[in-house]
C-alpha cells in the first residue's frame, strides 16, 4: 500500500495562478462489485496525475484501462455501490472529492468541474428544448435571474459556434445534427465557466472535420478561461495535435507520463511503444497489423530502461525482478526529469525518492 | 394537426364497421341465431301454435326473418347519424317514433287470389289539433295488433301448407325443409287442385290470412296517414328534404326488456362510472409513486416488498377475492362491516345527502356515505389487482431511463437527485404510462363483468352479461359500438398525448 499523502505533491506555492495544479489525482483506486460473484473488479489501481490550468492532459489507453472511471470518479458519478473508492484522493481546490458529501458535490458538478461525453446523440434529454437544458445548468450554478441566464445561454451557444442561438434555444435535440449536439453539450459544460473540463472521448462519434472543429473550439475556450482539460481518448492523432501532457494507462494503472513531444519522440514503456506501433502507417503494405501484444511479448523491449524493469502484468514469474517486500509491485518512476514510467518496485527503486507525475508543461512553453 | 385528426377520424369509420360486423356475425352464427333468446322467452306460452305465432311475430318485429346481411345493414342504418328516407318523429319525452312499417303481400297470392268482397277502404283523414296525438297512439296500437294477427296467420298458413304437402305424397313433401315445415317461396308455381285432400283447410287458412292482411294493411295506412299528419315534431336535421337527414344514432330497443337501449345504458353507465372514477385514481395514486420509488431504490425493501405484495395481489382471482370480501367483510356472521350487495340502502331515496344527527341525537349516514359504504368492496376488488401491472410498468420504464446517457448528463450538470428522478427520468418514462392510461376509458364504459356480478351492482357489466345471456342483440351491439368508438378515440388521445409528451413525435410533417 502506498501511503496516503494528500497534497504532498502540490507544486510550490507560486504567485502565478497557472503554476498550481487545478486537479490532482493521487494513488486513486476504485473497484466495483463483481455481479458474477468473483473478486471485486479493480477498475483503477493507484492512478496519479495532475492537471494544470490551460493544460490539456490526455489520458490514453485501451478500453477498460480505467480512463473513464478516473474521470467519472472526479465527478463522483460512480454509483456507489457497486463502485467504491478504495484509497487515494482527488484534490480539487484543496478538498478531496472522494470524501465530499453529495450536497457539496452538487455545486462542483457542472459548476466547477464539467464533463462532456462521447455520445452526443443520446446525451441530451429528448423531451426538453436545448434552451431548457442549458438554462437548467446555468440556474443551478449561477445566481442569476431567468433573463440573465438566457443571455448567458445565448452567449454560450455563440461561443461554441452555433449561429442564431436565440432561435435554436427553442429547438429540441432531435432537430440538431450530431456535431451540433456535441457543441450544445460543450456549451452546456462551459456555460458555468468550469475550472476543469473532463472530455470523455468528445469526438469519437463525430466525423473527422467536425472532430477538428470541436477540438479547435475547446482549445480556444481553454485559453480564454484558464481551464484545464482532461481529454480521454483512443485517438493518438487527437493526442498528438491537442495534448500538452500525456498519461498512458493500462489495467487501472498509469504506465507512462510525459509531455506530448517527448512521448511521441521516444516512448519508454513497452506498452506505449506497442500503442504507437499499432497505428497503421500510410504507404506501408502489411498482411497483418501490429498489435500491442506483438510488442509487449518481445523480452528485448523490457531491457531498454537502465536500472529498472518496466511493469507488465503478463511478464512470466521468473522474468520479474526481485520485488520490494510487502509493497505494491508497481511504482511510477521518474526515470528522467519529467518522464515517468511504471516499473516493478525493486528494492533499489524503493530506496529512491519518488515524485508523483506532475507536469506543468504546455505546448506554448516549447 | 387538424388534417391528421381528420384523417384518423375518417379511418375510424371502417374500423368501427369491421368491429360491429364481426360482432353481428358472431351473434348471428351462434347456435340458435340472434333470435335464440326470443325463442326462449316465447316458450313461456303453453300452446305450441301460439308459441310459433308469437315467435313469428317477434321475428317480424325485429326483422330476424331477413338475411343476416340485410339485418346488419338495417342496424347500420339506425346507428348511422346520416339517415335516408322518411324522418322519424320524436315525442316530447325524447322517444323516437319510426313510421309504421310496410306490410309484405301475403305469400302465394297468385294461387289464392283476393276474394271479390275485398274493397279498398275509404281514404282516411286524420284529425287535426289536440286530437291527433291520442288518435295516432290508438292507430299505432291498432296497426301493431293487426300486424301481429297477420304475421300469426301467415305462420298458420305455413303450417296448413306443410300439412297439405304431406298429404299429397312424396312429390310435394319433398319441398318441405328438413324439419318438415314449409317455406312459402318453395311452393311458388305449384298447382293446388281444389279436389286434393286437405285443400279445404289450406284454402281456409289462406282466406283467413288474406283477410288479416287486408285489415293490417288498412290499419297501417291509417297509422301512416296519422304519422304524416305530424303528431310530434320531426327528429333530426334535414339535408335533402324527404331523402337524407342527420340524426343521433338510434341504439334500438332491447328485445329482452322492451325498453330503448339508450335508456338502459343511461341507467347503468353512471353506476359503472362511479365505481371506476373512484377506483382508477386510487390505483394510479398508489401504483405510480410506488413504481417510481421502487426504481429509485432498486433492490431496496420498498422495491422487493411492493413487488412481492402487488404480484401476490395480482395473483388472486377477482372471483375469489370478491367472494372472500363478501364472506368475511360483509357477512354479518363474520365482520359484517360492509353491505353484501347493491349500490344503495333500500331507504337511500329518503336520505339526506350529507350525514347528520337528528333531533333525537341519532346519527344518519346520509346518501353520500351510504353510497361510499356500498361501493367500498367493489372498488377494493377492482383496484387490488391493478397495482402490479401499473407499478411494474412504471418501475421498468424508469429503470430503462436511469441508465440513459442524458440522465448521466443531468447528473454531471449537478442536478439534484430528486430532480434527476422526476424531471429527467420520470418525464421520459411517461410514454408507456400513457399507453396504459388511455385503456382506462373503454374499461370505464365496459364495466367489470365479474365484480358487478358478484356485488350485484347494476352497472354496464351486469347489463352486458344479462344481454349475452338473453342474446339481446341490441344491447350487445350498442355496447360493442360504444366501447369500440371510445377505444378508438382513446387511442387517438394516446397519440395526441405522445406528441405532447415527446417532442420527437409530431403530426405536422406526417
What percent of chain B has a predicted confidence (pLDDT) above 90?
Answer: 9
Smallest Cβ–Cβ distance between A110 and the set B414, B427, B428 belongs to B414
The tens digit of pLDDT for each residue in B437-474 reads 888 888 877 768 888 888 888 888 889 888 888 878 88
pLDDT of residue A12: 46
Task: Indicate left, alpha or beta for B131 from its phi (over 0: left) and psi (-120 to 50: alpha).
Answer: alpha
Residue B501 pLDDT exceeds 60: yes
Residue B118 CA: distances (Å) to CA of A37, B109, B112, B150, B215: 102, 14, 13, 16, 10
pLDDT of residue A349: 81
- How far A184 CA sits from the closest chain B CA (Å)? 12
Does A122 sit within 8 Å of B414, measured CB to CB?
Answer: no
Q: Which three cell numbers stand for residue B360?
A: 333525537
Task: Look up the pTM and report it.
Answer: 0.75
Nearest residue in chain A measured CA to CA from B409? A123
Q: Which three cell numbers stand for residue B281?
A: 385514481
The pLDDT profile of chain A, 366 residues, written as one tens digit per residue, is: 444 444 444 444 444 677 888 999 999 999 998 878 788 888 898 889 999 988 999 999 888 888 889 998 998 888 877 888 888 899 988 888 888 888 888 888 888 999 988 888 889 999 999 999 999 989 988 888 889 999 999 988 888 888 898 999 999 999 998 888 888 988 888 888 888 999 988 887 777 887 888 888 888 888 888 899 999 988 888 899 889 999 999 988 999 999 999 999 988 888 898 888 888 777 777 777 778 877 777 777 777 777 788 888 887 777 778 777 777 888 888 888 888 988 888 888 888 888 888 888 888 765
- How far B289 CA sits from the closest chain A CA (Å)? 21
Does B414 sit within 8 Å of A111, measured CB to CB?
Answer: yes
* ipTM here: 0.84
Nearest residue in chain B measured CA to CA from A199? B412
Whole-angstrom Cα distance, residue B116 to residue B111?
A: 15
Q: Which chain B residues contact residue A111 at CB under 8 A?
A: 414
Cα end-to-end span (Å), chain B: 9
pLDDT of residue A366: 59
Q: HEC profile for B413-482?
A: CCCCHHHHHHHHHHHHCHHHHHHHHHCHHHHHHHCCHHHHHHCCCCCHHHHHHHHHHCCCHHHHHHHHHH
Smallest Cβ–Cβ distance between A188 and the set B413, B424, B427 belongs to B413
Average pLDDT, chain B: 83
Whole-angstrom Cα distance, residue A349 to residue A308?
A: 7
Pairing of strands A228-233, A196-200: parallel
What percent of chain B has a predicted confidence (pLDDT) above 70?
Answer: 94
Higher-pLDDT residue of B345, A77: A77
Q: Which three cell numbers stand for residue B29?
A: 352464427
Q: Which of A121, A125, A128, A190 to mutate to test the interface with B (most CBs of B within 10 A)?
A: A125
pLDDT of residue A154: 92
Residue A118 CA: distances (Å) to CA of A208, B123, B440, B503: 14, 93, 42, 24
Q: Which residue pairs from A74-80 have beta carbons closer than 8 angstroms and sit at least 24 positions apart in sequence?
A: A74/A23, A74/A25, A74/A113, A74/A196, A74/A198, A74/A230, A75/A105, A75/A108, A75/A109, A75/A113, A75/A115, A75/A198, A75/B411, A75/B412, A76/A100, A76/A102, A76/A105, A76/A109, A77/A109, A77/A115, A77/B408, A77/B411, A77/B412, A78/A30
Q: Which chain B residues contact residue A123 at CB under 8 A?
A: 405-406, 408-409
- How far A120 CA sits from the closest chain B CA (Å)? 9
Domains of chain B, each with CATH number or no CATH = 2-251 (no CATH), 263-353+363-501 (1.10.3720.10)
Pairing of strands B244-246, B82-84: antiparallel
The tens digit of pLDDT for each residue in B10-48 reads 999 899 889 989 988 888 887 766 655 555 554 454 556
Does A123 sit within 8 Å of B408, measured CB to CB?
Answer: yes
Nearest residue in chain B measured CA to CA from A138? B413
Q: Which chain A residues contact residue B427 at CB under 8 A?
A: 125, 127-128
Q: Which three cell numbers stand for residue B369?
A: 356515505
Tell the burial category of B4 from Cβ atoms under 10 Å away from its Cβ (0-12, 13-18, 19+).
Answer: middle
Does B406 sit within 8 Å of A117, measured CB to CB?
Answer: no
Does B502 sit within 8 Å of A125, measured CB to CB?
Answer: no
The tens digit of pLDDT for each residue in B172-216 reads 777 787 777 777 777 877 788 888 888 888 888 888 888 888 888
Residue B305 pLDDT exceeds 90: yes
pLDDT of residue B34: 61
Q: Which residues contact A6 (CB under 8 A, 6 or more apart)?
A: A26, A89, A91, A96
CA angle centred on A65, ends A61 and A68, rounded to 5°? 90
Whole-angstrom Cα distance, residue A192 to residue A141?
A: 7
Strand partners, A249: A254
- How far B415 CA sits from the closest chain A CA (Å)? 7
pLDDT of residue B396: 92
- How far B408 CA sits from the closest chain A CA (Å)? 8
Residue B70's CB is within 10 A of a number of other CB atoms, namely 11
Q: Which chain B residues contact residue A125 at CB under 8 A?
A: 406, 409-410, 424, 427-428
pLDDT of residue A365: 67
Contact A192, A110 (CB under 8 A): yes
Q: What is the mean pLDDT of residues B271-287?
A: 89
Does A123 sit within 8 Å of B502, measured CB to CB?
Answer: no
Q: Which chain A residues contact residue B404 at CB under 8 A?
A: 122
Quickly list H helices, A247-336. Answer: 260-265, 270-277, 292-296
Does B404 sit within 8 Å of A110, measured CB to CB?
Answer: no
pLDDT of residue A230: 93
Q: Which chain B residues contact residue A75 at CB under 8 A?
A: 411-412
Does B408 sit within 8 Å of A127, measured CB to CB?
Answer: no
DSSP B327: I
Q: HSE of B402 in the Cβ direction (CA atoms, 13 Å)?
A: 18
Residue B159 pLDDT exceeds 90: no
pLDDT of residue B201: 86
The tens digit of pLDDT for each residue in B382-404 reads 888 888 989 999 999 999 898 88
Amino acid at each position: 500500500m502506498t501511503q496516503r499523502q494528500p497534497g504532498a505533491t502540490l507544486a510550490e506555492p507560486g504567485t502565478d495562478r497557472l503554476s498550481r495544479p487545478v486537479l490532482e489525482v493521487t494513488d486513486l483506486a476504485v473497484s466495483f462489485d463483481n455481479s458474477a460473484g468473483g473478486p471485486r473488479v479493480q477498475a483503477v489501481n493507484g492512478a496519479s496525475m495532475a492537471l494544470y490550468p490551460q493544460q490539456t492532459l490526455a489520458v490514453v489507453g485501451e478500453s477498460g484501462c480505467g480512463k473513464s472511471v478516473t474521470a467519472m470518479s472526479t465527478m463522483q458519478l460512480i454509483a456507489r455501490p457497486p463502485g467504491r473508492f478504495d484509497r487515494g484522493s482527488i484534490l480539487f481546490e484543496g478538498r478531496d472529492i472522494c470524501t465530499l458529501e453529495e450536497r457539496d458535490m452538487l455545486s462542483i458538478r457542472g459548476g466547477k468541474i464539467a464533463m462532456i461525453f462521447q455520445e452526443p446523440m443520446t446525451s441530451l434529454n429528448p423531451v426538453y428544448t436545448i434552451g431548457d437544458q442549458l438554462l437548467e445548468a446555468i440556474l443551478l450554478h449561477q445566481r442569476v435571474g431567468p433573463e440573465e441566464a438566457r443571455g448567458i445561454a445565448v452567449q454560450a451557444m455563440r461561443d461554441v459556434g452555433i449561429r442564431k442561438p436565440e432561435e435554436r434555444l427553442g429547438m429540441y435535440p432531435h432537430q440538431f445534427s450530431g456535431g451540433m449536439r456535441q457543441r450544445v453539450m460543450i456549451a452546456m459544460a462551459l456555460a458555468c465557466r468550469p475550472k476543469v473540463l473532463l472530455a470523455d472521448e468528445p469526438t469519437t462519434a463525430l466525423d473527422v472535420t467536425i472532430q477538428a472543429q470541436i477540438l479547435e473550439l475547446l482549445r480556444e475556450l481553454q485559453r480564454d478561461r484558464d481551464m484545464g482539460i482532461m481529454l480521454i481518448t483512443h485517438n493518438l492523432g487527437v493526442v498528438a495535435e491537442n495534448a500538452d501532457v500525456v498519461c498512458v494507462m493500462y489495467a487501472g494503472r498509469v504506465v507512462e507520463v510525459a509531455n506530448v513531444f517527448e512521448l511521441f519522440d521516444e516512448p519508454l514503456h513497452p506498452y506505449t511503444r506497442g500503442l504507437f506501433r499499432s497505428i497503421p502507417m500510410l504507404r506501408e503494405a502489411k498482411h497483418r497489423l501490429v498489435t500491442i501484444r506483438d510488442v509487449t511479448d518481445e523480452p528485448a523491449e523490457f531491457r531498454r530502461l537502465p536500472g529498472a524493469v518496466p511493469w507488465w502484468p503478463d511478464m512470466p514469474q521468473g522474468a520479474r525482478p526481485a520485488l520490494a517486500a510487502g509493497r505494491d509491485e508497481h511504482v511510477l518512476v521518474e526515470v528522467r526529469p519529467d518522464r515517468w514510467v511504471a516499473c516493478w518496485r525493486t528494492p533499489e527503486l524503493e530506496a529512491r525518492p519518488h515524485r508523483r507525475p506532475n507536469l506543468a508543461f504546455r505546448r506554448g512553453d516549447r | 394537426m387538424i388534417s391528421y385528426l381528420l384523417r384518423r377520424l375518417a379511418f375510424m369509420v371502417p374500423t368501427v364497421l369491421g368491429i360491429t360486423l364481426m360482432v353481428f356475425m358472431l351473434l348471428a352464427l351462434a347456435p340458435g341465431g340472434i333470435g335464440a333468446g326470443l325463442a326462449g322467452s316465447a316458450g313461456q306460452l303453453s300452446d305450441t301454435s301460439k308459441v310459433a305465432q308469437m315467435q313469428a311475430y317477434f321475428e317480424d318485429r325485429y326483422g330476424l326473418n331477413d338475411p343476416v346481411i340485410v339485418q346488419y345493414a338495417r342496424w347500420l342504418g339506425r346507428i348511422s347519424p346520416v339517415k335516408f328516407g322518411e324522418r322519424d318523429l320524436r315525442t316530447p319525452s325524447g322517444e323516437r317514433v319510426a313510421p309504421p312499417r310496410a306490410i309484405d303481400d301475403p305469400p302465394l297470392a297468385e294461387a289464392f287470389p283476393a276474394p271479390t268482397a275485398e274493397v279498398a277502404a275509404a281514404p282516411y283523414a286524420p284529425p287535426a289539433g289536440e286530437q291527433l296525438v291520442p288518435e295516432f297512439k290508438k292507430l299505432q296500437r291498432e296497426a301493431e295488433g293487426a300486424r301481429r294477427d297477420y304475421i300469426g296467420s301467415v305462420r298458420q298458413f305455413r303450417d296448413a301448407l306443410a300439412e297439405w304437402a304431406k298429404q299429397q305424397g312424396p312429390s310435394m313433401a319433398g319441398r318441405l325443409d328438413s324439419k318438415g315445415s314449409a317455406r312459402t317461396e318453395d311452393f311458388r308455381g305449384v298447382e293446388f287442385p281444389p279436389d286434393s285432400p286437405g285443400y279445404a283447410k289450406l284454402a281456409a287458412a289462406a282466406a283467413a290470412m288474406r283477410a288479416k292482411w287486408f285489415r293490417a294493411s288498412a290499419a297501417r295506412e291509417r297509422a301512416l296517414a296519422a304519422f304524416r299528419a305530424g303528431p310530434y315534431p320531426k327528429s333530426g336535421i334535414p339535408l335533402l328534404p324527404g331523402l337524407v337527414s342527420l340524426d343521433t344514432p338510434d341504439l334500438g330497443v332491447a328485445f329482452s326488456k322492451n325498453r330503448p337501449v339508450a335508456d338502459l345504458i343511461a341507467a347503468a353507465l353512471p353506476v359503472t362510472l362511479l365505481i371506476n372514477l373512484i377506483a382508477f385514481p386510487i390505483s394510479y395514486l398508489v401504483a405510480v409513486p410506488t413504481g417510481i420509488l421502487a426504481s429509485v431504490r432498486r433492490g431496496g425493501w420498498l422495491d422487493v416488498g411492493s413487488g412481492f405484495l402487488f404480484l401476490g395481489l395480482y395473483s388472486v382471482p377477482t372471483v375469489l377475492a370478491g367472494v372472500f370480501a363478501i364472506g368475511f367483510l360483509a357477512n354479518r356472521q363474520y365482520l359484517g362491516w360492509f353491505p353484501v350487495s347493491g349500490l344503495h340502502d333500500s331507504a337511500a331515496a329518503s336520505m339526506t345527502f350529507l350525514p347528520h344527527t337528528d333531533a333525537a341525537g341519532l346519527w344518519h349516514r346520509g346518501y353520500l356515505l351510504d353510497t361510499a359504504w356500498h361501493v367500498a368492496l367493489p372498488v377494493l376488488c377492482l383496484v387490488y389487482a391493478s397495482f402490479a401491472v401499473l407499478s411494474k410498468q412504471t418501475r421498468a420504464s424508469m429503470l430503462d431511463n436511469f441508465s440513459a446517457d442524458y440522465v448521466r448528463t443531468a447528473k454531471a450538470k449537478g442536478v439534484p437527485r430528486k430532480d434527476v428522478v422526476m424531471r429527467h427520468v420520470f418525464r421520459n418514462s411517461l410514454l408507456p404510462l400513457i399507453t396504459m392510461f388511455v385503456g382506462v376509458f373503454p374499461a370505464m364504459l365496459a364495466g367489470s363483468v365479474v365484480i358487478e356480478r358478484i356485488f350485484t351492482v347494476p352497472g354496464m357489466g351486469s347489463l352486458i352479461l344479462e344481454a349475452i345471456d338473453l342474446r339481446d342483440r341490441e344491447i350487445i351491439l350498442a355496447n360493442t359500438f360504444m366501447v369500440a368508438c371510445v377505444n378508438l378515440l382513446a387511442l387517438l388521445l394516446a397519440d395526441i398525448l405522445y406528441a405532447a409528451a415527446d417532442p420527437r413525435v409530431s403530426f405536422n410533417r406526417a
